[in-house]
Amino acid sequence: MEYDVIIVGGGITGAATARDCAMRGFKTLLVERGDLCDGASGRNHGLLHSGGRYAVTDREGAEECIRENRILRRIASNCVEPTEGLFISLPEDGLDYQANFIAKCREAGIDAKAIDPKEALRLEPAINPSIIGAVKVPDASVDPFRLTDANVLDAQRHGADVLKFHKVVSLIVEEGRVKGVEVLGHNDVSTKKIYAREVVLAAGIWTAALAEAAGVHIGMMPSKGALIIFGHRVARMVINRCRKPANADILVPGDVVSVLGTTSDKVPLETCDDMHATPEEVELLLREGVQLVPSLATTRIIRAYAGVRPLVVADNSGDGRSVSRGIVLLDHEERDGLPGLITITGGKLTTARLMAEMTADLLCRKFGVNRRCETAEKPLPGSDGRKARFEDPVEQRAAIGRHGGEVSKMDFSQGREVLCECEQVTRAEIRYAVQHFGVRNISDLRRHTRIGMGTCQGSFCIRKVAVALAGELGDPSLADTFVKEYLQERWKGMTPVLWGDTLREGEYMHKVHSL
């Protein structure tokens, strides 16, 4: 098998890069060791940055964010909820930072407006009533799973191939250049080689090890971020603390829940494959989070989780907050004398499309072609204007909200039964996910449909979902295994928050599924 470009990593950066490369006519392969959005792209707070968070310390990053914010609202409208955002100042923060914040936002082209604290409380009654200042910014909520799926679907529709559940065990280096990758499938006993003119590493924190094996060093510092999910939307807008970035200073509403984050701590590279939130991190997040929204102290917690930011550093000094979140594009032919290899890393969920454009531009120069980027203009699948309406059949409304125009590819004539009541997921949507995303278990299915991500966390639906999924995969005997795997995965996120309602519900879930 030979391609123009192989992209390693099925998160949002790899997915966006695959889309751009395919749209420019390159024969493209996307390789992912697990399911799409299985790493850091699926473990963040889902914030579509206005750039305000970076305006004071990183003007370039802030300008990138606001440009991409506007683009994604156009091309990925089905993945974005235009909540808008507030940066609030508490008495201990003072107002000096707010004044500088507004000035820096305006320099970066961000529409930041100071509003009266009473007006802020009218817009968002959940915020701390002790605020002394507030700034309105164009933040939004974005679903990283939908955004990644949409990019991959568009890449495939432009001719790209996608190879999931295949781990890149090494880069093929021959005659002094990278010529492809050697991969091992989850159920394979031997590896296979796939060749390409260029290989792009877009695997987040795992990029460093792949490059190192080919003799190329990338200074990368894993920065762990822990987050908490609350059982309902306690706020309508994104709420930020107007101060120097610190722990628990962002609350993001998304779908039917709210996400509080985040921490930032250096962790050993070898721990990145088994990342989870700790009770100590949860306690820290709650202690700070209630300063933003006091009702969080009595709001039900669903679970906690953690991801790893791929921060590129010159050395291993500094901490996770002092290191730049900027985009890093490395041409290893120019930098290290190793042709055939490119790395794209750093950045943010908000800037993934831009990172892909920069990578595809570099590939065009290397291939000697002149093909214009169109990813900022053409809508992604599902964002074609199809919105749920009151007159739509009730079983289709949630699916339209998640998939937009893609709902036309779902067969509701034989699949209108609702299997997950919290998220209103039907059998037709499960069948669609199997056919279009090759899901293998309920955790895969969750990323593509939100199965089990609602308030009951699967207590009432997972048995029915497991039976349906096993049937779609042609092996009904898999159902029991699916349930056990799913419950074990959910348990990891519940463990650090097992008190009060969460403890009672954990015991109830255990009772339901042990009968």
Taking the C-alpha atoms of residue 43 and residue 40, their distance in angstroms, rounded to an integer, is 5
Helix (H, G, I), strand (E, B) or coil at 173: strand
Token pair 């908000």: residue: 350
Q: 126 with 233: CB under 8 angstroms? A: no
- DSSP class of residue 309 equals E
CA neighbor of 207 nearest in space, from 266, 199, 28, 352: 199
Instruction: State residue 317's pLDDT score.
Output: 46
Q: Residue 96, CB half-sphere, CA atoms under 13 Å: how many?
A: 3
- Joined together, the tokens standing for residue 178 give 């990278």
Nearest-10 crossing angle of helices 96-107, 59-75 = 60
Taking the C-alpha atoms of residue 223 and residue 246, their distance in angstroms, rounded to an integer, is 14
Instruction: State residue 314's pLDDT score.
Output: 62
> Which residue numbers in the chain have pLDDT < 50?
315-317, 320, 322
Q: What are the sequence ranges of the domains in the chain?
A: 2-39+145-219+325-367, 47-142+221-312, 394-514
Taking the C-alpha atoms of residue 421 and residue 425, their distance in angstroms, rounded to an integer, is 7
Taking the C-alpha atoms of residue 453 and residue 247, their distance in angstroms, rounded to an integer, is 25
Taking the C-alpha atoms of residue 439 and residue 486, their distance in angstroms, rounded to an integer, is 13
Taking the C-alpha atoms of residue 71 and residue 53, their distance in angstroms, rounded to an integer, is 18
Q: What is the CATH number of domain 47-142+221-312?
A: 3.30.9.10
Q: What is the CATH number of domain 2-39+145-219+325-367?
A: 3.50.50.60
Instruction: State residue 329's pLDDT score.
Output: 96
Q: Is the dihedral of CA 45, 345, 158, 77 positive or negative?
A: positive
Q: 295 with 234: CB under 8 angstroms? A: yes
Q: What long-range pairs does 331-339 form, CB within 8 A, spacing at least 24? A: 331/362, 332/178, 332/211, 332/216, 333/177, 336/215, 336/216, 338/173, 338/176, 338/177, 338/178, 338/214, 338/215, 338/216, 339/176, 339/177, 339/178
Instruction: State residue 432's pLDDT score.
Output: 94
Instruction: State residue 515's pLDDT score.
Output: 64
Give the per-residue SS3 of 369-407: CCCCCCCCCCCCCCCCCCCCCCCCCHHHHHHHHHHHHHH
Q: 342 with 363: CB under 8 angstroms? A: yes
Q: 81 with 47: CB under 8 angstroms? A: no
Write down the pTM of the prediction.
0.93
H or E, element range at 266: strand 265-266
Helix (H, G, I), strand (E, B) or coil at 197: strand
CA neighbor of 409 nearest in space, from 394, 428, 385, 437: 428
Q: How many CB atoms lie within 10 A of CB 322?
A: 12
Q: 334 with 53: CB under 8 angstroms? A: no
